A and B are shown apart, each in its own frame.
Chain A
Amino acid sequence: MKTESKLEKVFASGNLAVTSECGPPRGSLPNHVREKGKYLEGVVDAINVTDNQTAMVRMSSLAASVLLKQEGLNPLLQMVTRDRNRLAMQADIIGAYALGIDTMLCLSGDHTQFGDHPMAANVHDIDSIQLIQMVKAMRDEGKFQGGADIKGPPKMFIGAAANPFADPFELRVLRLAKKIAAGADFIQTQCIFNVDKFEKWMEQVRAHGLHKKCYIMAGVTPMKSVGAGRYMKNKVPGMDVPQELVDRMGAVPKEKQPEEGIAICVETIERLKKIEGVAGFHIMAIDWEEKVKEIVDRAGLLPRPQV
């Protein structure tokens, strides 16, 4: 074991791990975070707390993570390289660890163009792979990037993202290999709708032996409506939603669509469970946290293991 992370312990126990996410509010009301967190209590092993997702200003990931921690929940700090340079990131990493946060996800972040501050500078002092390297060196060597010793190195369990559906496809597994070489302990993938394509990606992952070097969590998202499905299919770069799923959502009346979306999500998890190398699930129910419990339950992933 590299860390005290609960997520690491769940992986190590051989159980399928389950994570979900909580997007912090666009304001300073702490109850918003607590309420979202409540839906996930006892349902998941860790809760991703997003970092200015879609390049919109939100309560900081660190602050919202601490709010969840105070409720006895287990936050997973997301950190993007878009908004801060390496000084600020290292400061937040040791600060987070001092506040009891031991698991994080290293990302480059959505481009500012997608958010409501397109006039802001994109920092990108380092990229996501370099961030992984930095956190690993902080943890394992007890060194800041500048070379100085850290008094009390942050023992972070290090996560990274992978998108099996973006282009160039042949580079997707190689990029994963690079993230693992940099020090990623676990991976959360982009939302999987096209299971066939994900299987092809996993074949390559196994061919490279990467599933033995890190834990791969398959990302899933329940569609709330046929409109949401169409939006993800057509408007979100790097998302792959097969037409047949959109048609299936469209074939049921509007009021039944949320139920259908949940059913599809549960079926997807069942299919993904059979794929060798899948170590868990990351359920991204965006502003739909109240449904995560039902998904986890119906997918046979409750109760969560006590580790």
Chain B
Amino acid sequence: MITAERKPLEELIEFVRPFKRILLVGCNECVTVCSAGGRKEVGLLASGLKMALLQSGNTIEIREHTLERQCDPEYIDELLPMIDGVDAVMSMACGCGVQEVARRYKNMPVFPAVNTKFMGASERPGVWAERCQGCGNCLLGVTGGICPIARCSKRLMNGPCGGSVTGKCEISQDVDCAWQLIWDRLKELGLEDQYLKIIPAKDWRTAGGGGPRKIIREDLTA
């Protein structure tokens, strides 16, 4: 999923301070799963903002709504009746959702309520960790199912640097050495020889080096 974390309340207060009436929009997808911008967080943030502004003598009306999916135009249209009469929109979706709202409602200021972090997985309750950087040319088939691009601090594609110690990365005891994980798994699978193959320099065009990326599926385009 795409993970996100809510921005500090102080930053959000400054966004909305000039306005009398805003629409706060959550998303029922990834940000709900990582407890950053779903229905529940929309309710909490709305009360938080109102209370904080009230303390400084300001009042604000906040309309709350959570879309099924904020990165999809067909759901964003749903906001039309609610957006009428508000001064600004605050989105609790990832950056994709924020931009889709901004694209659809051209005259409306749109502010992000979360910082979009990474594509990751839940390691245990309350902990999410990066797993994929969307390089556009997946290496997982030759690296034992563990991504060195997303999970090695130096993005090394051909083995561990000299700072790998007892399975941990040199930058922190909290970071596993991706290459230790890869090696352990290759061994388990009896694929040690796989390691000896040099992974050549990567073509980063598929990772964004070729400019903003787009997928066009001719079979689906109308």
Contacts and interface: CB of A to CB of B under 8 A. Distances in A.
A253 B179 CA distance: 43
Contacts, number: 105
Contacts of B202: 126
B155 A127 contact: yes
A162 B159 CA distance: 12
A12 interface: no
A178 B179 contact: no
B165 A166 contact: yes
A130 B159 CA distance: 11
Contact of B154 (A122, A133, A162): A122
Given A130-B201, A167-B180, A175 B166 contact: no
A177 B196 contact: yes
A166 B163 contact: yes
A134 interface: yes
Q: Chain B interface mostly helix, strand, loop or mixed?
A: loop
Contact of B198 (A124, A129, A165): A129
Contacts of A111: 153-154, 163, 170-171
Contacts of A82: 154
Interface in B140-157: 153-157
Contacts of A162: 162
Contact of A108 (B154, B166, B201, B204): B154
B164 A130 contact: no
A113 B171 contact: yes
Interface in A127-149: 127-130, 133-134, 145
Contact of B164 (A86, A109, A166, A182): A166
Nearest to B156: A127
A125 B177 contact: no
B206 interface: no
Contacts of A78: none
Given A166-B162, A171-B195, A130 B170 contact: no
B213 to A, nearest CB: 18
A178 B199 CA distance: 10
Interface of A: 82, 86, 108-109, 111, 113-114, 122, 124-130, 133-134, 145, 161-163, 165-168, 170-171, 174-175, 177-178, 181-182, 190, 237-238
Given A125-B204, A127-B154, A174-B196, 17 more contacts: A109-B154, A111-B171, A114-B171, A124-B154, A126-B202, A128-B158, A129-B159, A130-B201, A163-B161, A167-B164, A167-B177, A171-B179, A174-B195, A175-B159, A178-B159, A178-B198, A238-B161
